[in-house]
């Protein structure tokens, strides 16, 4: 009767006698072990969305390039007008419109019809809005009280030629393309796109539609993680499914390390009989850390294979996705030249209550309700992949947290 151990009934209880690395420590180790890629290319601005700047960018022109009117109205020199009462101002002939400027000087004491975006001609320092005047023939009537410079966008008030507009390591957004174009920048230097090799491991895995025996399951990790990684803007090198055989895994790792910047494997990362990735990495590479105090997904292998980092994630799709967001995301952004960016979150009230064991970080599939409070998926079962698509993100419960009450602030990390 004394041979059997007590029931634990929690597959995520941290076995004793093992060093469980807290998430923060694992992230720090991961960060320290990586070197970012330094190859760069010069590309046209039109092709740069999603790429990462390899140097600061300096504006080649002012924005606006010349002072121009912010409204449709009438321009004049304010100092030539009375500063009290109603004003009657005679308009000079001609007008200034966007793309069709007025090149003469407007005489003091006269006004000029001026339209939005038109260059402010000499002799004008103020523009009055068309709706604020009464025009009778060639005279406009309006009340005094305008400030000098009203309704004028000054040359360079937004961006000064020669100033730094975007900084090295920035991942370029659609809006950045607008800024670059408005600053006269035609080409920029970016880091070469990160190449991520992806490998699923497990004798049970098949591609969708390829069943030939009952014990097989469809590889869910590759389609999911490939899509996620491509959405982050990286290039995928897909090495398919590899069975649980060390020689096979070894040759795929060799190939992947020749062509990629980082290798992401799923499956076989724990310490079981069939966990060939962790065994191989500890025998043939300098496996650094592989037991992380987190739920779901505690096995995580990190090693260099022919100098290329290998992140060995758990096979369970929920754990694989969580670890991709928590560990792979900052590793990729660092390698790609964008700096070490951990999955960022916002603090929101919990729409749930829950007890938790201290000594591990937990990630719960979550989404925000209409009040902006975080709801969690109704099952924590890490095999429940449906909860991943139900969720819009993760709630992170810190290492030492033991209980969460409704309304307590929790960190919500959107996908
Ligand atoms: P492992 O990490 O290899 O021990 O796998 C843990 C669990 O995840 C097992 O139930 C595997 O069958 C499952 N699994 C591993 N890889 C995948 C995958 N690519 N797609 C779906 N399930 C997987
Ligand atoms: Mg396996």
Give the per-residue pLDDT at 298. 72
Q: Which residues of 356-366 are buried (b: 16+ CB within 10 A; e: fewer)?
A: beeebbbbbbb
End position of a domain, from candidates 276, 310, 336: 336
Identify the segments of the chain with pLDDT beneath 70: 1, 6-18, 289, 297
The token duo for 260 is 């990629």
200 CA closest ligand 1 atom index: 19
* pTM exceeds cut of 0.85: yes
CA dist 153 and 248 (Å) reads 66
pLDDT of 8 reads 62
How far does residue 317's CA lie from ligand 1's centre (Å)? 7
For the Cβ of 265 lying below 6 angstroms from any atom of ligand 1, the answer is no
CATH number at residue 182: 3.90.105.10
- Atom 16, ligand 1: residue with shortest CA distance: 315
Ligand nearest to the CA of 244: 2
305 three-class SS: strand
Same domain (yes/no): 221, 251: yes
Do 167 and 50 reside in the same domain of the chain? Answer: yes
Q: Within this chain, do residues 297 and 331 fall inside the same structural domain, yes or no?
A: yes
- Tell me the residue range of the domain where 30 lies: 23-38+193-336
Alpha-carbon distance of 262 to 253, in angstroms, equals 10
> In this structure, which ligand is nearest to the CA of 274?
2
Same domain for 143 and 281, yes or no, is no
Single out the residue of 36, 27, 29 nearest to residue 323, CA to CA: 27
Question: Could you write out the DSSP letters of every residue in 144-158?
Answer: S-PPTTTTEE-TTSS
| Tokens at 242, concatenated | 């590899």
Tens of pLDDT, residue by residue over 168-185, are 999 999 999 999 999 999
What angle do the packed helices 276-284 and 246-259 form, to 10 degrees? 70
Ligand 1 in reach of 92 Cβ (< 6 A): no
Which bound ligand lies closest to the C-alpha atom of 215? 1
CA–centroid distance, 367 to ligand 1, in Å, is 25
Residues with Cβ within 5 Å of ion ligand 2? 202, 267-268, 315
Q: Is 217 in the pocket of ligand 1 (CB under 6 A)?
A: yes
Atom index in ligand 1 nearest the CA of residue 220 equals 20
Return the pLDDT at 182.
Answer: 97
Task: Evaluate: CB of 268 within 6 angstroms of ligand 1.
Answer: yes
CB of 121 closer than 6 angstroms to any ligand 1 atom: no
pLDDT value of position 13: 53
Residue 312: nearest ligand to its CA?
1
CA distance 53 to 337: 8
Residue 75's pLDDT is what? 98
Asked whether residue 202 falls in the same domain as residue 312, the answer is: yes
For 103-154, how does the pLDDT look when each residue is reduced to its tens digit (9 = 90+)? 999 999 999 999 999 999 999 999 999 999 999 999 999 999 999 999 999 9
How many domains in the chain? 4
In a domain, 5, yes or no: no
CA distance 294 to 251: 31
Assess whether the C-beta atom of 266 lies below 6 angstroms from ligand 1. yes
């Amino acid at each position: 009767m004394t041979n059997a151990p007590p029931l634990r009934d929690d597959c995520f209880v941290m076995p004793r006698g093992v060093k469980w690395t807290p998430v923060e420590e694992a992230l720090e180790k991961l960060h320290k072990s990586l070197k970012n890629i330094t190859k760069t290319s010069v590309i046209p601005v039109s092709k740069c969305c999603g790429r990462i700047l390899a140097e600061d960018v300096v504006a080649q022109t002012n924005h606006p390039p010349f002072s121009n009117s912010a409204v449709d109205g009438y321009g004049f020199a304010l100092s030539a007008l009375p500063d009290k009462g109603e004003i009657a101002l005679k308009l000079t002939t001609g007008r200034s419109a966007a793309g069709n400027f007025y090149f003469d000087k407007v005489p003091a004491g006269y006004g000029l019809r001026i339209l939005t975006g038109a260059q402010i001609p000499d002799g004008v320092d103020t523009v009055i809005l068309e709706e604020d005047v009464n025009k009778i023939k060639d005279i406009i009537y309006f009340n005094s009280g305008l400030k000098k410079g009203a309704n004028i966008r000054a040359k360079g008030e937004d961006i000064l030629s020669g100033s730094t507009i975007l900084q090295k390591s920035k991942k370029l957004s659609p809006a950045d393309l607008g800024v670059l174009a408005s600053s006269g920048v035609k080409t920029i230097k970016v880091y070469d796109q990160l190449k991520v090799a992806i490998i699923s491991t497990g004798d049970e895995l098949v591609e969708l539609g390829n069943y030939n025996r009952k014990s097989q399951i469809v590889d869910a990790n590759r389609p999911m993680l490939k899509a996620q990684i491509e959405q982050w803007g990286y290039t995928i090198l897909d090495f398919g499914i590899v069975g649980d055989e060390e020689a096979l895994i070894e040759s795929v790792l060799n190939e992947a390390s020749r062509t990629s910047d980082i290798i992401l494997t799923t499956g076989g990362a724990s310490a079981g009989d069939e966990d060939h990735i962790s065994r191989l990495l500890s025998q043939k590479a300098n496996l650094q850390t592989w037991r992380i105090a987190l739920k779901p997904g505690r096995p995580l292998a990190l090693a260099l294979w022919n100098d290329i980092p290998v992140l060995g994630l758990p096979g369970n799709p929920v754990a694989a996705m969580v670890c991709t967001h928590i560990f792979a995301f900052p590793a990729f952004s660092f390698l790609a030249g964008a700096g070490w960016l951990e999955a960022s979150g916002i603090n929101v009230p919990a729409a749930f209550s829950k007890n938790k064991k201290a000594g591990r970080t937990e990630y719960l599939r979550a989404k925000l309700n209409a009040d902006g409070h975080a709801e969690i998926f109704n099952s924590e079962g890490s095999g429940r992949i449906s909860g991943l698509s139900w969720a819009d993100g993760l709630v992170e419960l810190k290492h030492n947290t033991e209980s969460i009450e409704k309304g307590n602030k929790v960190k919500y990390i959107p996908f």
